[in-house]
Structure 1
Amino acid sequence: MPHKQVGSAEDSSAAAAEEVPSDAPAAAAKDSEPQFRSPREIRLVMIGLVVTMLLAMLDNLIVGTAMPTIVGDLGGGEHLSWVVTSYTLATAASTPIWGKLGDLYGRKGTFLTSIVIFLVGSALSGLSQNMNELIGFRALQGLGAGGLMVGVMSIMGALIPPRDRGKYQGMFAAVMALATIGGPLLGGFITDHFSWHWIFYINLPLGIVALGVVVVTLHLPKVRSTARIDYVGAVLLTTGITALTLITTWGGQEYAWGSKQILGLAALAVASLIAFCYVEQRVEEPMLPLSLFTNLNFTLVSVIGFIVGFVMFGSTVFLPLYQQTVQGASATNSGLLLMPMMLGMLVISLVVGQAVTKTGKYRIFPIIGTIVMTGGMLLLSTMGTGTSTFTSACFMVVLGAGMGFLMQITMLVAQNSVELKDMGVASSTATLFRTIGGSFGVALFGALFNSQVTATMKDRLGDQAGAGAGANPGQMTPAALRTLPAPVQDAYHHAVANGMHTVFLWGAAAALIAVAAAVFMREVPLRGTGEPAEKNLEAAAV
């Protein structure tokens, strides 16, 4: 029996920007008359969505550069990691819950609520008087942030038919590039010329603009739902995600990978997620319908999204380390040196978006993207102590191009694989897989890198490796490195180069999994503006 692809009914409703009661019969959605949005209306809404996405992506990048100053002011350096961890945990754990709430009670209301929570958390973080307050308020901020990205993607999915979404992909790729390059620069500038408090206060005017634009321009009928929230599923899923996030955050850093703390978290994660799967099959309105994964494209694109997060976050963490240590770039310049990767991602994302809009075809792009991404990782694995910045920039362009083929396509396919009533869940699941993939990428790459650096230092310096480079040479700072003897510096340069070789080689191996997933993806026609819902339903059932 042919595999059914669902979601084209969503496309008809999406084009109409219509939401129907979540407990209404399917026929009501089918019979609703579409009222297409004009390009001008969509562009106005997109202003608010783009600003909101900028808020979501910029925050952690800005905060990172200000952390030494914050610790100097508030003290509590032993709790430094929790300033980031609390935000990351709250964001990851709340992401699927925001998606489901939007499906049940309306996307506009939940989206506005998440923005307000994020802004309240930002204001309170700026007012923090000690480290404990800052950690708590950052968790509140992360709770709101979990709904920002999901809200942007699910609203976009409800407003714009899949075939037309390519026109707007470039906006989000540009925001990602701007946040990655500009975040650390902006954070350093604000901290140096104003006060660290303003790295949080800067969110307020941007958030108010986003709120105003969304309130005025976004018009979605209210959703009426009589379904009960799946509280048990929400608790189990949150517990599992939290445990996984803590494993990737603490493993090899706070605790050894084989420690009882990490093993205990692993057991908790497995038990929670197994119990979650059991519960979701028995509740009337599951938090994450497991039936979504019976759709081949949805499952495959979730795997690809995980690998994209794995590769992207791992690369952006370790490339600056190589640039600062081996190539001698400053912290500021190492951020700018990532620009080739971001430009490659931006240009290709724009080209792919236009091609999808023009042809309605998308299957070829994940295949090309995963192959190019694998090639980019293999090229980066060849970098050594003598690799020039121009050569490494060319390698980064290749990697960025590969991710440009994938970044927006993965969300597009995920949304095209579900009905409108599950748009929020689809968006949040795609976002969650990418987030978890990023966490695992950073953790695994970090363990591989530290192990390789330590082994290389010991091989080159023998028993003097620990005395010359510290107890953990994998965490040597460029400033500390310059104070060491020339032989130790040379050994460390080779150690970092070897570490990068290992990291990117393993990254290429992971990317091959994405290639396999992309090959098995099916081409389901994307409905264009103006096509009748009945025609789309027939195409989806083939």
Structure 2
Amino acid sequence: MSSPSTAEADKPPMTRREVLEALSGLLLGMFVSMLASTVVSSSLPVIIHDLDGDQAAYTWVVTSTLLTTAISTPVWGKLADLYNRKLLFQLAIVIFVLASATAGFAQDPGMLIASRFAQGIGAGGLAALSQVLMADIISPRERGRYMGLFGAVMAVATVGGPLLGGVITDAWGWRWNFYVALPVAVAALIIVQKTLHLTRSSWRKVSIDYLGIVLLAVASSLILIWVTNAGTSTDGDFWSLSNNAWWSFTTVWMAGGALLCAIAFVVVELRAKDPLVPLSMFRDRTFTLSVIASISTGIAMFGASVYLSQYMQLARGATPTEAGLMTIPMIAGLLVASVVVGGLITRFGRWKSYLIAGAVFLIAGSYLLSTIEYDTNFALVSVYMFVLGAGVGMTMQNLVLVVQNTCKPSDIGVASAGVTFFRSLGGTIGVSVMGAALAARVIDLMGGVKGDLAAALAGLGDKAQYWAEQLQSNTLPAVSQMPESIRVIIEDVYAQGISHAFLITVPFAVATLLAIVFLPNKPLTTMTTSERLEASEADLGTVSVPQGRDRR
């Protein structure tokens, strides 16, 4: 047991300039973590086609990163309450840089997915620790303004990533998507080292819940593997209807195994000295309802970034660069909403009405995107994307703010990571479910257009055999390269499949609205986490004064 030095304890609070300097490193770290999940979105059809992958591989390249980000987030959050947070943040950057470099050398879908798994571990640390470190230096009341900056950065990374990825893919090749974030990560590492100076009022012996980590990882992995593959298996013929695997022996052991691991995880967490996810936090209505609300926010955020790019390329025949440009309306919605609402929260100290409005936008945006077709007027599609982006911008970061405002200072790391974890887990499961629904829908629809495709192929002359083989393979099609007669049919099929996938997000958005409505409307405190911790320790010291002492 040790305590900080007197000089460290007496150190004055950071000035606004010092806060902004330190925040720049955290913002770069957040940008890098989000960019890892989004920069490949617009180039995924090209990547999977080049590596001879199918729709399942497409989904797993995304969900592999989301899965390890989700699983590692509470681990990083727990470590943040036990170890040096600044050092942990820098370690997460190093892990991310090494994994990104490896992903750029991938020769097949398996190697790429494995690299993305490792990438997610680093990204989880950057996402969780940036929130915790910000709470150390900025009070919840002032944090609204800075949450707007985080929202802006996440807007650029979440939806601007596909644009950048598309340009890079068309100009230099898709492998550079994995290298582009490396200089930013290194810059974040240097800036944090030079500008972020933290004090800590107490240290305690650590105890890591290793069994809890394993059980959480196994439960999450089993359920995602099952969702991704069930109902989408084929016999290798792209024309065939799927062999429904939702009710099979594989479903029984995978879903059953996930359930057993989840139950074991709860039991372990109840007995652990330092649980990975302290279940006692769910006694707090604010934390529980914020977790519920965060799940569908994650589904909307990650699902939109992945499947909007696929819609632009496979349903509208766009190139990767064009697909990135076509998702700019969502960037605008997220950017405007997060910055404006963050500023309003700081100015007036009120947050609930903005979150309710954001949930309404989530519902509207999700439903409207479930109605799109391959020839829907793009002006309408742009409005739909803007509405969904605004909903994400109003809710995503502010749900973390609400939890940080009410949790105990000693639990700030695990509480922040808890909300981020369920948002990431919701996004991971959502992307998997949407991918499975999309794949199953596309397979079914292909069975219904066999006659139209046969007629279109018949008119291609000596090229008919080549395109017939392309359609019969499980490889994701390169729609923009197809002859017009075939392309129109395939675009219609994928548009129906993707709109069907977006319909899945609507009930989750409704759940977000209900959860936010019942959130306790507590005012935002003006004290930083460090100040709250010092105040609580001072109160404890006052209470602990022996009765024989002078109490003046």
Task: Pick the TM interval, shorter chain.
Answer: 0.7 to 0.9
Asked if the contact 1:453–1:474 (Cα under 8 Å) also holds between the matched residues in 2, the reply is no
Deviation at 1:259, TM superposition (A): 4.5
Provide TM-score, normalisation by structure 2: 0.80
How many residue pairs end up in the alignment? Answer: 504
Q: Say which of 394, 401, 409 aligns to 1:412.
A: 401
RMSD: 3.6
Given the superposition, is the C-alpha separation of residues 515 and 260 from structure 1 closer, same or farther in structure 2, using an over 3 Å criterion? same
Correspondence list, 1:372-521, <5 A: 372-456=361-445, 458=447, 461=449, 470=471, 476-479=477-480, 482=483, 484-485=485-486, 489-490=488-489, 492-521=490-519
Residue aligning to 2:283: 294
Q: Say which of 194, 204, 208 aligns to 1:225.
A: 204
Asked if the contact 1:92–1:241 (Cα under 8 Å) also holds between the matched residues in 2, the reply is no
Once structures 1 and 2 are overlaid, which stretch shifts more, 325-334 or 157-166? Answer: 325-334
Deviation at 1:312, TM superposition (A): 2.4
| Partner SS state of residue 104, structure 1 | coil
Q: Say which of 100, 103, 125 aligns to 1:147.
A: 125
Residue aligning to 2:145: 167
Residue aligning to 1:94: 72
Deviation at 1:363, TM superposition (A): 1.5
Asked if the contact 1:93–1:242 (Cα under 8 Å) also holds between the matched residues in 2, the reply is no
Asked if the contact 1:249–1:439 (Cα under 8 Å) also holds between the matched residues in 2, the reply is no
Asked if the contact 1:122–1:201 (Cα under 8 Å) also holds between the matched residues in 2, the reply is yes
| Inter-partner Cα distance in structure 1 for 2:317 and 2:174 | 28
One-letter amino acid of the counterpart of residue 415, structure 1 = Q
One-letter amino acid of the counterpart of residue 36, structure 1 = P
Residue aligning to 1:349: 338
One-letter amino acid of the counterpart of residue 97, structure 2 = L
Residue aligning to 1:333: 322
Correspondence list, 1:93-132, <5 A: 93-126=71-104
Asked if the contact 1:340–1:393 (Cα under 8 Å) also holds between the matched residues in 2, the reply is yes
Given the superposition, is the C-alpha separation of residues 375 and 466 from structure 1 closer, same or farther in structure 2, using an over 3 Å criterion? farther
Per-residue CA distance 1:166-216 (angstroms, 9 max, x = gap): 111232222223223443444455456556664444443222211111112
| Inter-partner Cα distance in structure 2 for 1:298 and 1:510 | 18
Residue aligning to 2:23: 46
Deviation at 1:477, TM superposition (A): 4.3
One-letter amino acid of the counterpart of residue 15, structure 2 = S
| Inter-partner Cα distance in structure 1 for 2:265 and 2:28 | 34
Q: Say which of 48, 53, 57 aligns to 2:34.
A: 57
Deviation at 1:161, TM superposition (A): 1.0
| Inter-partner Cα distance in structure 1 for 2:108 and 2:433 | 32
| Inter-partner Cα distance in structure 2 for 1:495 and 1:129 | 30
| Partner SS state of residue 358, structure 1 | helix
Deviation at 1:268, TM superposition (A): 2.0
Given the superposition, is the C-alpha separation of residues 120 and 447 from structure 1 closer, same or farther in structure 2, using an over 3 Å criterion? closer
| Inter-partner Cα distance in structure 1 for 2:61 and 2:373 | 34
Once structures 1 and 2 are overlaid, which stretch shifts more, 413-422 or 402-411? Answer: 413-422
5+ residue gaps, structure 1: 1-20, 25-31, 538-542
Residue aligning to 1:267: 256
| Inter-partner Cα distance in structure 2 for 1:92 and 1:353 | 25
Asked if the contact 2:160–2:328 (Cα under 8 Å) also holds between the matched residues in 1, the reply is no
Q: Say which of 238, 247, 255 aligns to 2:226.
A: 247
Per-residue CA distance 1:240-292 (angstroms, 9 max, x = gap): 22323333444445684445444422222211111111111112211110011
| Inter-partner Cα distance in structure 2 for 1:530 and 1:188 | 41
**Percent identity between the aligned chains?**
38
| Inter-partner Cα distance in structure 2 for 1:370 and 1:236 | 32
Given the superposition, is the C-alpha separation of residues 501 and 390 from structure 1 closer, same or farther in structure 2, using an over 3 Å criterion? same
One-letter amino acid of the counterpart of residue 175, structure 1 = V
Provide TM-score, normalisation by structure 1: 0.81
